Structure 1
């Protein structure tokens, strides 16, 4: 009997000790959890350049969309003066003008690990110094504006990114009062309408926006004047409002932006407003270049070469413009700029100082603030995400 009691006591003691040990383990304070910073995927940015100096073609940069840092990853395509680029919607194909005389237009495809752009095709631009290239929405047509020869060339594109031969060629004639810039026609921008019914051309030499209707087979019809600008304006680029039938045109020679209503049935524009891109007290030389609008249609940006600034405009619902500031670009000769995909940043390609600078965008005011971030690229003149 005593032995049985001793055994029961030993068993009880064993389980009591085990229970206490488990309780102690369960009541142990958990270790402090340290949140690891989320890994941010860099975004690829392509820079088109002039190759008359140190540059050899198209360069890839990594952009951090959180802190706005920028890193040059080097040459991805060796090609002559790819001064303007367009990228397919699937990000696999890149199209570039080769701004030379005679000019060419080239297409490339990314290799498997996105380290090189491999050549796909190249065609003559049928003109001199092509300076703009754009795909239509269906990505089966490509339009190229030739500056010196004053013509636009429209190519067919196949599903493998091949630029097909025998394009449609439309030549402009005329001149303007500002010499030597307007001694002849100078096509500078070629854009398709959203519905694909028209192609619009900004011709700097003749102070006009030209439109061509596009038929169901992709062939351009007869030329018509979509809008006459003021003499000596020198229209260079334009951008469409994201939700309204309004277009905004930047004038290189007069340092101004014009807004106009768009008639999508006729291809004709009707002027709304015109505002200077410069402060009232500025008297130096200037040549406007690029223009972009936010996806909500509230803010418009325009680059000044000479004043070396980005002009910031507030866009009213009726298309009227209010210039609310000019931000120095931290470089010289801002030929081209772009908004980041989330529109939190604006990046500027400064041609003469060989740098790309990064600014934050205030979502409430539209105003810009320099981040201190920049990257070195020789003769950058086009930026595309």
Structure 2
């Protein structure tokens, strides 16, 4: 691809693939045509489903989502565009499914789904992961005996403009607000909030200008908007909007949620209906439903939005990524470009490292 073409990437793709195969991929998006190109990949980790990128250095981190879970670090080299494993640490829990690096680049946080726990690791100067510094364990259950028999921490995201982190726990119907005590290397729980019983909170998205947090609920198939009052550590519910069209009666679970860079539009993915629900974001942060578009295949476990113009849909059970151009009306339209990747799960944009 000529260097003069506008390029988005590298985009790091995590998958449900075996350690013998390249389960993490480097991908680029042509920001004129929507064409996707795979650059390279790396093997060695089992089910490297979710990935995270260091905010200022060429390091990538991934979970190994297995019964005896781990977190893995990599160094990116622009010469040859490769990822090389640095080290790994046990997650001291089952099925780690999400992770993030803090803004300082000093700490890695991760969650274990099946164990319902939150992990804190120091990041060393060379990008490797230090031994587990602290772990917080959630307890409890909720109304769905098939999915909520125990705590299931599903994601952890930093709240912009604050020192807080929000953990969605699908099993307890809880939103947990943590802070990192950097001196002690500990996680401090500020507060827990209860969602609607049976909601199953999964992932969050944050408005770029307003103190609004959007939570996609896997089991109730809805998005709830909260006002986040950081000083008082309060989450005030504003609105709940369904992700499904009226009259839909099939099985469905929600997966991912993202805003455009400007905050003008929000999207949530449906697995079962296999669609992207689109919303206009009003001045007060509430949502106006715009409709649904096909996600481009089966099981959109994750998707990513780049700027205000591009959306990539990762289709776990169609083994491909599909590119969409976002129209001025906020509706994504497929470009006709796809990329075959086995069971893609997450998409994370890296800085322009070249």
TM-score tier by shorter-chain length is over 0.9
Q: 1:112 to 1:214 in 2, by over 3 A?
A: closer
Q: 1:366 to 1:355 in 2, by over 3 A?
A: same
Q: Looking at CA atoms only, which structure, 1 or 2, has the larger radius of gyration? A: 1
- Alignment length (residue pairs): 346
If asked which structure has higher relative contact order (CA below 8 Å, sep 6+), I would say 2
Aligned match of 1:224: 191
Q: 1:59 to 1:255 in 2, by over 3 A?
A: same
Select 1:301's aligned residue among 267, 270, 273: 267
Select 1:257's aligned residue among 220, 223, 236: 223
Q: Tell me by how many angstroms 1:91 deviates.
A: 5.5
Helix, strand or coil at the partner of 1:247:
strand
Q: Distance in 2 between matches of 1:275 and 1:338?
A: 21
Cα displacement string for residues 64-101 of structure 1 (whole angstroms, at most 9, x for unaligned residues): 11101012234234321111011122361101000001
**1:376 paired to 2:340:** yes
Select 2:308's aligned residue among 329, 343, 359: 343
CA-based RMSD: 1.8
**TM-score normalised by the chain length of structure 1:** 0.86
Helix, strand or coil at the partner of 1:214:
strand
Helix, strand or coil at the partner of 1:273:
strand
Q: 1:346 to 1:234 in 2, by over 3 A?
A: same
Select 2:319's aligned residue among 337, 341, 354: 354
Cα displacement string for residues 168-225 of structure 1 (whole angstroms, at most 9, x for unaligned residues): 1000011111131111000001122334522211000011101123335253224521
Helix, strand or coil at the partner of 2:42:
strand
Cα displacement string for residues 217-272 of structure 1 (whole angstroms, at most 9, x for unaligned residues): 253224521x3111100000001111111100000000000000111113321100
- Write out the 4+ residue segments of structure 1 that deviate beyond 6 Å after TM superposition: none
Kept after mapping to 2: 8 A contact 1:76/1:115: no
> Runs of 5+ in structure 1 lacking a partner?
1-36
**Segment drifting more, 325-334 vs 38-47:** 38-47
Q: Distance in 2 between matches of 1:53 and 1:351?
A: 17
> Runs of 5+ in structure 2 lacking a partner?
350-354
Select 1:178's aligned residue among 132, 136, 144: 144
Q: 1:375 to 1:91 in 2, by over 3 A?
A: farther
- Larger strand percent: 2
Aligned match of 1:313: 279
Aligned match of 2:117: 151
Q: Tell me by how many angstroms 1:63 deviates.
A: 1.5
- Larger helix percent: 1
